[in-house]
Structure 1
Amino acid sequence: MPFAAADHSLKRGALAKRFGCNIETIRYYENIALLAAPDRTNSGHRVYSPGDQARLGFILRGRELGFSVEELRSLLSLADSHEYTCGDVLALTRRHLEDVRIKIRDLARLERTLANVSDRCEGGDVPRCPVMDALLEVA
Structure 2
Amino acid sequence: MTAHIRIPRMVSRASAVSALTVAAVGSTVAVPGATPEAEAATVAVKALRIAASKKGAPYVWGAAGPHRFDCSGLTQYAYKRAGKRLPRTAAAQYNRARPIKASARTHGDLVFFHGSGGVYHVGLYAGGGRIWHAPKTGTVVRLERIWTRQVSYGKVR
Q: Give TM-score, length-normalised by structure 2.
A: 0.25
Bigger RCO of structures 1 and 2 (CA < 8 A, at least 6 apart)? 2
Normalized per residue, the structure richer in helix is 1
